[in-house]
Structure 1
Amino acid sequence: MKLEPLVSIITPCYNSSDFVRATLNSVIVQDYKNWELIVVDDKSNDDTCKIVEEFTSRYRNIKLISLLKNEGVSNARNIGMLEARGKYIAFLDSDDVWMENKLSRQIAYMEEQLLTMTFCSYKRINEEGAVISRQIPVPFSVSYKNLLSHNMIIFSTSMTLRSAIGDLKFKKAGHEDWIFWLDLFKKSEGGHGINEPLVLYRIRSGSVSSNKLKAIGYTWKILRENEKIGVLRSMYLFSKYVVATVWKRLK
């Protein structure tokens, strides 16, 4: 019988008490069982740690790391990656929810096709957990060049071969997830999409993704400073980003 590869799930938390229980429960019910869950709390001042500790007391494969200082999601994810032991790393934000076959579907696809990274389609939910969109489709594959004009990868939908990540770290910047994929895809084959809604992606008021002005500023900064792209090409890519963002919100 073939041994199922270990998946390390990394969940950064900060004041997530309203949502983290549903997030962790969505891991517990996975039909794929060989996983470890590393929850990194970024100095929450609510009941997040207390809730997570309810799970760590019942499940040996769930670990809580409580940070003494709030340093942001990039730092929390980096610490989680240092603790990861799995062949694969899957990121799950503390307010999103997985369908019960999320891990099994991605593992089967990646093992069969020998893929470095996969992601999947999703549906949006609101703060109360109600579905507020239809399935958001994803492309069959995404390269570095594709990703420059628009980040179509929701972080909680991703799974990546740990050896492909290597010593790559998250940078402290707006749109740190997008920068991470750009940096990864520069040295890998890119990612492959699964057009099945295996994740519920929560839209929260006040989140970075809902702050359009910040998102615009971050996007321009990534193109010009992180990727060192010239002004004219940056303007072209930026216009594609705006169109893609508007189109996505209409779905």
Structure 2
Amino acid sequence: MTNDAPSVLSAVPELPLVTVVALCYNHARFLRPALDSILVQTYPRLEVILVDDASTDDSATILREYANAHPSWQLLLLPRNEGNCAAFNHAFRRSQGEFLIDFATDDVLLPERIARQVAVFQQLPPSYGLVYSDAEHVDEQGHHVGYHYKRPRPGVLLPRPAEGWVFAEVLRRYFISSPTVLVRRAVLAELGGYDETLTYEDFDFWVRAARNWQFHFQDEKTTQKRLHPQAMSRRGYRPHDPYLASTIRICRKARALCRTPDEQDALAVRVRWELRQAVRWRNFSEARELYGLLRELQAVRPLDWLLSQAAGIGALLSS
């Protein structure tokens, strides 16, 4: 079902249009705070596209209510569950914004989020394709838990943010809080949107985007990221990790993008980390694949070999 009302608000034509793609799958209990956080944005030129990925709770009912109350918002109710990557691409293909936000509707946008990030983008050269920031972590009830970046002393953030040409850093470690990202449309257009063969989008998107575009860190808290058992981030690195096969595919794609020995070394750091997690959580077949990729990178260390042997023995004992 689609609400075909006009998608562009032109109250302030001189400002760039920003598209908020609000992606929902069984977020009914969090949906109203999320959608209300779009309504209180201080930025005046928004295109809002609501996408429900065939939820089985009351999400569709709530989304219809908000779409009816705000006719400029587009509503897309997918008839079957397609996953986050495909659901986002449906919205991206119909969007018009110069900048886009992939907004999971269990999170909350702080009121100045979009205005402040657009202002940052407008001060950057056109080679910058992505702005990201700090995030507050909240629990299911919206209570403060912490922040994405720990600040043990003034001027020190952990994990350390990276800026500029960050391809190797994106390969080496996680430092970006996904819900805080504002991306230039040209980046998504160049990449053809998200890779729909994957079960999750952010690592692959960062890798491919960082090859040709610079990233900027905005040292502000712009978003509340909700931590709850059903969140995608809580399901990784567990027995039968549903995302590990995609991670391996992304690492192989990244290998083809590496241009320097330093970039290959950075990828080896990531693959080694994933190998350790795979063995720890008894994902033995994936561990053997990761070890094979380390061999291809000519980056095997003695502990890597021992882990590969443990994975082989573990697989035999599990069979």
TM-score by length of 1: 0.86
**Aligned partner of residue 29 in structure 2, secondary structure:** coil
For the structure 1 residues 140 and 228, does the alpha-carbon distance in structure 2 shift closer, same or farther, using more than 3 Å as the test? Answer: closer
Whether the aligned pair in 2 keeps the contact of 1:220 and 1:238 (CA below 8 Å) is no
Q: Which amino acid aligns with 2:45?
A: N
Whether the aligned pair in 1 keeps the contact of 2:169 and 2:266 (CA below 8 Å) is no
After TM superposition, give the deviation of residue 224 of structure 1 in Å: 3.9
Equivalent pairs, count? 242
For the structure 1 residues 210 and 81, does the alpha-carbon distance in structure 2 shift closer, same or farther, using more than 3 Å as the test? Answer: same
1:65: which partner in 2?
Answer: 76
CA distance in 2, matches of 1:161, 1:76: 19
Coordinate RMSD, CA, aligned: 2.7
Q: Does 1:130 align with 2:143?
A: yes
For the structure 1 residues 126 and 179, does the alpha-carbon distance in structure 2 shift closer, same or farther, using more than 3 Å as the test? Answer: same
Deviates more, 1:100-109 or 1:140-149: 140-149
Match of residue 147, structure 1, among 170, 182, 196: 170
1:18: which partner in 2?
Answer: 29
For the structure 1 residues 2 and 78, does the alpha-carbon distance in structure 2 shift closer, same or farther, using more than 3 Å as the test? Answer: closer
Match of residue 29, structure 1, among 29, 37, 40: 40
1:40: which partner in 2?
Answer: 51
**Structure 1: tracts of 5 or more residues without a match:** 244-251
Deviations along 1:148-192, one digit per CA (max 9) or x if unpaired, are 022322222111111222152212324421101211122222x10
Greater Rg, structure 1 or structure 2? 2
After TM superposition, give the deviation of residue 2 of structure 1 in Å: 7.3
**Structure 2: tracts of 5 or more residues without a match:** 1-11, 150-156, 259-263, 277-319
1:117: which partner in 2?
Answer: 130
Query: Higher relative CO (CA 8 A, sep ≥ 6), structure 1 or 2?
Result: 1
**Aligned partner of residue 194 in structure 1, secondary structure:** strand
**Aligned partner of residue 146 in structure 2, secondary structure:** coil
Whether the aligned pair in 2 keeps the contact of 1:121 and 1:135 (CA below 8 Å) is yes
Match of residue 185, structure 1, among 189, 210, 215: 210
Q: Which amino acid aligns with 1:170?
A: Y
2:302: which partner in 1?
Answer: none
CA distance in 1, matches of 2:135, 2:107: 10
**Aligned partner of residue 178 in structure 1, secondary structure:** helix
CA distance in 1, matches of 2:148, 2:247: 28
1:156: which partner in 2?
Answer: 179
Whether the aligned pair in 2 keeps the contact of 1:150 and 1:240 (CA below 8 Å) is no
Deviations along 1:188-218, one digit per CA (max 9) or x if unpaired, are 22x1011111111111204331122328835
Whether the aligned pair in 1 keeps the contact of 2:198 and 2:246 (CA below 8 Å) is no
After TM superposition, give the deviation of residue 219 of structure 1 in Å: 7.5
TM-score by length of 2: 0.69
CA distance in 2, matches of 1:123, 1:49: 27
